[in-house]
Chain A
């Protein structure tokens, strides 16, 4: 599957000028509020008509200079931030609403499967107003799935939920991604969500694409490392995560030995040393080479590190940079606190 998006339009003072392509797997549209993420989703779904551009899913053109397909003709599942369940219908009726419109033979997902996948069976006769925020969102996901979409759009489905509900829904979305293999475009302004769910990321800023590429290595303010759980030390609650070029310890990782996980390490959680320090509380001391140095702020820089396969970013002050005499090619030790890598920064790859 390839989703090809080129959109040009004005929304009041705001100009949206975006072009990207999304393939199979999960693509995250990432950026701050007001960067145009939701408008892009609405244009893909057909709820917003761009002034110019082209939107196509494989060889099916949704929009270009001549064509305009109505939302109902696009077969795109859309999970909104506020669930948008129909208040006069119960959960079962909501779930089956889109079922009616898609041809029988094109039903790849059955109701029973969705009920099992999203744990909805006991909610069937309830009304939306008697559901919790997380339950509403699960029904909304199920409803979109049962309309047999070719592509799923999710607009910050976790934004209105508290932390524990967030974790719950993230788990269900991961199952969706892994067990159904449905392509998804996912809008978020949370790095944690992007790291956990997405394969590729399109970074939006002020209505333009600021960056795009693989999630691994493309998120500002940190790095993402693909790894495998090599060891679970239950005595200390630590997991040893093996990656290309070494291993690191992380705290409270909910994964079994052998599982592949994706770890986000924030640049501000990484310290540098030119000699291997002794008597240190930090468990992770990783030999690395300085690859490049980029400006971060007036007082700080981001040092790109090569761990011998994986990459890491360390945010250090300009003062430290000068005193340590760091330059590209120089060998260093990257120091990371294990408690800085916790549950929210680890996702299942």
Chain B
């Protein structure tokens, strides 16, 4: 691999990693709310969470640009008060990737939480555990396989994110140019085919590795549950 290719790979992994990390608390909270909460507007929240799944990614990217861009309300606020900028930065790529991966993570985590026997939680309550403690010591550990699965899905989705990213943070080499964006860029210039192919193979290898890791992980969790 060339130095440029390694940079692209590392940037892609960095973006996907931070997207996954950002998704974790948000998806977990949403999954818990949707699995266990009974509140008005639950159906609406469910729909909003799933929106990125059905919305054209370019729409999502454009919305992000409007909200988090240099002139966007949230973007300006974060920039002035916290010094955090998303527009045309790798952080913006991570934000876009995270939002696109969120519905997949919420879905997997919600199913995992719904599968936890609430009678066990009731038993923990009679033993003196507070709701937060029950979540941490009963619900969470029993839902761990589903939560990890959700994270892997979000990670995979982030590696492949294209439309929202390119609309929101553009295609800037070394800053926002992840694997899919680099491949797209190469296909747009004459003579870029060979390099595009190399990156495509890299992409395939990466995805395969992620899938194998996920298989291994679920196998390991099953074995752990049986001992």
Chain A positions near chain B (C-beta within 8 angstroms):
45-47, 70-72, 74-78, 80, 82, 84, 86-88, 97-98, 100-102, 127, 129, 143-144, 147
Contacts and interface: CB of A to CB of B under 8 A. Distances in A.
A71 B119 contact: no
B148 to A, nearest CB: 14
Nearest to B122: A47
A86 B128 contact: no
Contacts of B126: 45-47, 71-72, 74, 76-78, 144, 147
B142 to A, nearest CB: 6
Given A72-B130, A80-B119, A86 B138 contact: yes
A193 B119 CA distance: 25
Contact of A147 (B127, B130, B225): B127
Given A72-B129, A147-B128, A80 B123 contact: yes
A192 B128 CA distance: 32
Interface in B114-141: 119-120, 122-130, 133, 137-138, 141
Contact of B125 (A47, A80, A127, A144): A47
Nearest to A140: B123
A72 B128 contact: yes
B80 interface: no
Nearest to B226: A129
Given A72-B130, A80-B119, A97 B124 contact: yes
Nearest to B227: A127
8 contacts: A46-B125, A70-B125, A72-B128, A72-B130, A97-B127, A98-B129, A101-B127, A143-B127
B129 A101 contact: yes
Nearest to A82: B119
A143 B124 CA distance: 10
- The A interface is mostly helix, strand or loop, or mixed, namely loop
Contacts of A97: 124, 127, 129, 137
Contacts of B142: 87-88
Contacts of A102: 128
A47 B129 CA distance: 13
A101 B122 CA distance: 15
Interface residues of B, number: 19
Given A47-B125, A70-B125, A71-B125, A86 B130 contact: no
The 4 residue pairs across chains A and B that have the minimum distance between CB atoms: A101-B128, A98-B127, A84-B123, A71-B125
A86 B120 contact: yes
A280 B124 CA distance: 58
Nearest to A83: B123
Nearest to B126: A78
Contacts of B129: 72, 97-98, 101
A70 B125 CA distance: 8
Nearest to B144: A88
A84 B118 CA distance: 10
B96 to A, nearest CB: 36
Contacts of A101: 127-129, 133
A243 B30 CA distance: 66
A98 B133 CA distance: 11
Nearest to B119: A84
Given A72-B129, A101-B129, A127-B227, A86 B124 contact: yes
Given A46-B126, A72-B129, A98-B128, 14 more contacts: A47-B125, A71-B126, A72-B125, A72-B127, A72-B128, A72-B130, A75-B128, A84-B123, A86-B124, A87-B142, A88-B142, A97-B127, A102-B128, A147-B128
A208 B124 CA distance: 29
Nearest to A96: B127
Interface string B38-67: 000000000000000000000000000000
A122 B124 CA distance: 24
A78 B121 CA distance: 13
A78 to B, nearest CB: 4
B227 A78 contact: no
A84 B125 contact: no
Contacts of A74: 126
A72, A97, A127 — which one has the most chain B CB atoms within 10 A of its CB?
A: A72
A98 B122 CA distance: 13
Nearest to A97: B127
Contacts of B141: 88
Nearest to B141: A88
B130 A78 contact: no
Nearest to B125: A71
A186 to B, nearest CB: 16
Contact of A78 (B120, B123, B138, B226): B123
A144 B227 contact: no
A143 B120 CA distance: 13
Interface string B150-178: 00000000000000000000000000000
B122 A71 contact: yes
Interface string B206-227: 0000000000000000000111
